[in-house]
Amino acid sequence: LATDAARPGFTAALALDADGAVSGFATAWTTPDPFPSGRAYDAVAAALGPRRVTDRLCGALEVDELAVAPAARGTGTGAALLTAVTAAAPGGRCWLLTSLRAGSALRLYRRAGWHRLPEAVPGRAALTVLLGPAHPGAGAAAGAG
């Protein structure tokens, strides 16, 4: 977390339950230009190509983590955390990467207005890129589901 907190544009949100226990958290930061390598970045770059990566993702707020405790799921905690960390996204430009196998997460993002890009991200993890509801590229992604 200390390394992530030093990233440009870093933001985080924490949700607490009535007893003060952590019920969820989210982190985000600005995706640098040039687009990073390593982690899943290489697969995203292969799927989108250099121009779309630069146009859609570089300089945008990247939601890196969103986690909600089982007891808090279905209470709006995830949506509130997502809104909290993306509220200051420059020009509404925010994005995230998730697995197509994460059904409950995909439903949350869809309800929150996020749009999946149609390009398949190569690899065994079945990853997909989603753009935030106010992202200028979200309209083009809307038909992807």
Domain span at residue 135 reads 2-144
Splitting the chain (145 residues) into consecutive groups of 10 residues, what average pLDDT does each group show?
93 96 97 94 96 96 97 95 96 96 95 94 94 88 53
Q: Other C-beta atoms within 10 Å of 24: how many?
A: 21
Task: Report d(CA 138, CA 77) in Å as an integer.
Answer: 24
pLDDT at 103: 94
pLDDT at 20: 96
pLDDT at 145: 45
Q: Which residues contact 87 (CB under 8 A, 6 or more apart)?
A: none
Domain count, the chain: 1
Q: What is the CATH number of the domain that holds 45?
A: 3.40.630.30
pTM, entire model:
0.92
